[in-house]
Structure 1
């Protein structure tokens, strides 16, 4: 059970709310969301030592399409979250800390010059590529 994150944080979406889109994950996605919180987000929060916000977590296929996400997005699978410390400088420091850590992740992406970070991990750590990207 995650210490610093909740399922509701990963399901909340201003876009879904504004457009009346249901953002409820199917039952097979819930274990992946819990794995993401327990094995990726919580360790990142513990390492950072301060709160971290979730901009986007799980996205239903309808929500993902509404925001222009790719159909194969790890957000739809419950394997990804977009996070922020609240500042570009903080996001850059957190990015560097994650890169230097032993946290198992699939992708770590600097989005738009550290406006936020995308972090993903696959359940069980199997197939995690440890890919570090800048978009």
Structure 2
């Protein structure tokens, strides 16, 4: 983990507001480290500038407080991160960079017209799905 820390993945204003301990257990920390090593660090290296984790690990109690969060969210296992580089145009470019670099991923999600990028990685069995948010959920897309 060259460019990211566990603290970035555990930080949450929602958890803080609700007094929730969002410390990742060892199993989630292992998944976070794999996500960072396989996807986020190589992406950051190629991007050449900082990438912010806007939402990383979420314990089940925190996940339940996040509007629209899936009850089976990969955030709860440390397999997903919502990332941003500050604006919609560059967030879309960031997602495209994952594809251009042929980085392994389970899902890339265009969240709310590139407000942020959801990226996940499951060790050994990735679906390579690309999705975007729509009212009431997600739809699969074939290109970003």
1:40 aligned onto 2:29: no
C-alpha RMSD of matched pairs (Å):
1.0
Runs of 4 or more above 3 Å deviation? none
2:48 is matched with 49
Write the deviation string for residues 18-39 of structure 1: whole angstroms up to 9, x where unpaired: 1111101222221111111111
TM-score, normalization: structure 2?
0.88
For residues 99 and 3 of structure 2, what CA distance do their matches in structure 1 show?
A: 21
Q: Which runs of 5+ in 2 are unaligned?
A: 134-144
Report the Cα offset of residue 57 of structure 1. Answer: 0.2
Alignment match, 1:71: 71
- Specify the alignment match of 2:130 in structure 1: 132
Match of 1:102 in 2: 102
Q: What is the SS of the residue equivalent to 1:129?
A: coil
Report the TM-score, using the length of structure 1 for normalisation: 0.93
Corresponding pairs, count: 132
- Return the alpha-carbon distance in structure 2 between the equivalents of residues 32 and 93 of structure 1: 25
Distance 2:65 2:22 in 1: 12
Q: Which residue of 1 aligns with 2:25?
A: 26
Unmatched runs of 5 consecutive residues or more in structure 1: none
1:122 alignment partner, SS class? coil
**Aligned equivalents of 1:19 and 1:42: distance in 2?**
31
